[in-house]
Amino acid sequence: MNTELGIMEKIVSLCKRRGFIYPSSEIYGGFSGFWNYGHYGSILKENIKCLWKQRFIFDRDDMFVTDTSIISNPKVLESSGHVSNFGNEIFKIQVGTGDEAVTSHLRPETAQGIFADFKNLVDAHHPKLPFGVGQIGKAFRNEISPRDFVFRSREFEQMEVEYFTKEEEWSEHLENWREIMNSFAREVGIEKVHELEVSQDDRAHYSKRTIDFQFDYPFGRGELWGLAYRTDFDLKNHNLDYFDEEAGKRFVPHVVEPSLGVDRTVLAVLLSAYTEDELGGEPRTYLKLNKNIAPVRAAVFPLLKNKPILVKKASEVYENLKLEARSKQLGTIVFDNNGNIGKRYRRQDEIGTPYCITIDFDTLKDDTVTIRDRDTGEQVRVSLKDLVSRITA
């Protein structure tokens, strides 16, 4: 990872220039702590979220998925201890109008929606312990000083699991989720992750053990994700329990919580992928994104944009490749005909596109194309029939 002074400014500039992330309400001077994701940023974020759902939920047989509301009955956050423990950090809102208005809050975490729905899930699905519930959703905290791009903001997105287990088994499940989180970090291209055992004084009020997964940001080492043992704190405070049919008894399950911030994940991915080098004797910047999360898997070009015969052939290749990519879930394929081919390469490098496919006059003769590797700049000719396998490998 490039950690030279000014790397954050370069990332912010690239994100704006290439349509990844913009300041919210920028035409009015922005609004501190709030950010908008542009076209490529939205795709990158969605790819990360989809991969998280696959690895943390759909690959397992003991997981459920949910999507709970951002605003809840005020008793939810009062019972969980958030109102008394976090005070001014939670956004207050008015629900309803006039004398019937009720003061509630924007949720500071997604977890409480899962806990409040625990009885509904058990009644509907009758799961056996251990089991978990995963959710991706927005959360809000009224940070006094939001800073460092999307690292600390007032509106953010979380990918969280609440994993319910018997008290005597929580430790083994925490270790299992710890391995899954480390594996996920490698899969999205975050290589340098450090673990910190959080002291009792620094843990949240609901946690008996917390491991912070930290990353070396340009401004210093900071929290990326968290893995907490929440004990039976939440379900007990909501007066919820579980009936174990095999044991014939009722008790309150304990909870292990792997919590991953989407925005901090995006930032760590971008920082890990940001690369400066020389290619063909000229300096260049590119995002060395893993192709399973890159916003664009491949870009298709005509060699010359003013040659209709090449543009037509390139359009045909693009449409066919897009159809095949969709059926094989390979991600986004784009057609790029803007500027000369050198500028197109540089643009796709900055977007993080792994492959650029060029249609030239030889394509018209033998149905072969040039495919360029983003990281090395190496170009090879391949047959159109082998194109999908080349961008899949």
CA distance 94 to 73: 12
Are residues 247 and 182 both part of a single domain?
yes
Show the domain range for 336: 296-392
Those residues whose C-beta lies under 8 Å from the C-beta of residue 23, and which sit 6 or more positions away, are 30, 31, 34, 35, 36
- DSSP 8-state symbol, 295: S
Model confidence pLDDT, tens digit, residues 97-118: 988 899 999 999 999 999 999 9
| Final residue belonging to a domain, choices 256, 271, 286 | 271
pLDDT tens profile 183-234: 999 999 998 899 999 999 888 888 999 999 999 999 999 999 999 999 999 9
* Euclidean distance between CA atoms 360 and 346, whole angstroms: 19
Q: What is the pLDDT of residue 84?
A: 84
Q: What is the CATH number of the domain that holds 237?
A: 3.30.930.10
Range with the poorest average pLDDT among 78-82, 267-271, 352-356, 374-378:
78-82
Is residue 309 located within the same domain as residue 220? no
For the chain, what is the mean pLDDT? 94
Specify if 277 maps to a domain: no
Claim to verify: residue 340 and residue 246 sit in the same structural domain: no
Residues 82, 166, 162, 245, CA torsion sign: negative
| 302 and 191 inside one domain | no
Percent of the chain exceeding pLDDT 90 equals: 85
Mean pLDDT of 334-363: 95
Q: Which residue has the higher pLDDT, 85 or 167?
A: 167
pLDDT beyond 90 at 181 = yes
Asked if the model's pLDDT at residue 355 lies above 50, the reply is: yes
- 2 within some domain: no
User: Which of 85 and 337 is assigned the larger pLDDT?
Assistant: 337
Q: What pLDDT is stored for residue 1 in this prediction? A: 42
Question: In this structure, is residue 287 part of a structural domain?
Answer: no
Q: Are residues 134 and 247 in the same domain?
A: yes
CATH code (residue 303): 3.40.50.800
More confident residue, 55 or 391: 55
Report if residue 290 sits inside a domain. Answer: no
For residues 296 and 35, what is the distance between their CA atoms, to the nearest angstrom? 22
The two three-digit tokens of residue 20, written as one number: 């990844």
Flag whether 280 is in a domain: no
Say yes or no: 266 and 303 in one domain.
Answer: no
Which of 149, 153, 64 has the alpha carbon at shortest distance from 108?
153
Query: Considering its fold, how many domains does the chain have in total?
Result: 2
Please give the angle made by the CA atoms of 189, 43 and 290, to the nearest 5 degrees. Answer: 20
| Tens digits of residue pLDDT in 239-275 | 999 999 988 999 999 999 999 999 999 999 999 999 9
Tokens of 109: 């975490």
Whether residue 214 is found in the same domain as residue 324: no
- Residue 334 pLDDT greater than 80, yes or no: yes
Q: Residue 282 domain-assigned?
A: no
- Residue in the block written with tokens 């784009």: 334
Tell me: do 211 and 345 sit in the same domain: no
Q: State the pLDDT at residue 148.
A: 93
154 in the same domain as 236: yes
At 3 the pLDDT is 47
Handedness of CA 259, 260, 262, 267 (dihedral sign): positive
In a domain, 185, yes or no: yes
* pLDDT of the residue at 194: 97
Say which residues have a Cβ less than 8 Å from residue 277's Cβ, sequence separation at least 6. 283, 284, 286
Q: Is the pLDDT of residue 295 over 50?
A: yes
H helices of 35-169, in order, are: 39-53, 74-79, 82-86, 111-116, 118-125
Q: Does residue 284 fall inside a structural domain?
A: no
Residue 76, both tokens: 């939810």
Instruction: Please tell me whether residues 259 and 196 are part of one structural domain.
Output: yes
59 and 151 in one domain?
yes
Amino acid at 192: K
- Which spans in the chain are helix H? 7-17, 39-53, 74-79, 82-86, 111-116, 118-125, 170-187, 233-237, 262-273, 308-327, 341-351, 361-366, 387-392
- Using the 3D structure, point to which of 271, 306, 339 is the last residue of a domain: 271
Distances (CA, A) of 134 to 50, 51, 185: 12, 13, 18
**Same-domain pairing of 45 and 99:** yes
pLDDT in tens, 16-45: 999 999 999 999 999 999 999 999 999 999
Q: Give the whole-angstrom CA distance, residue 392 versus residue 387.
A: 9
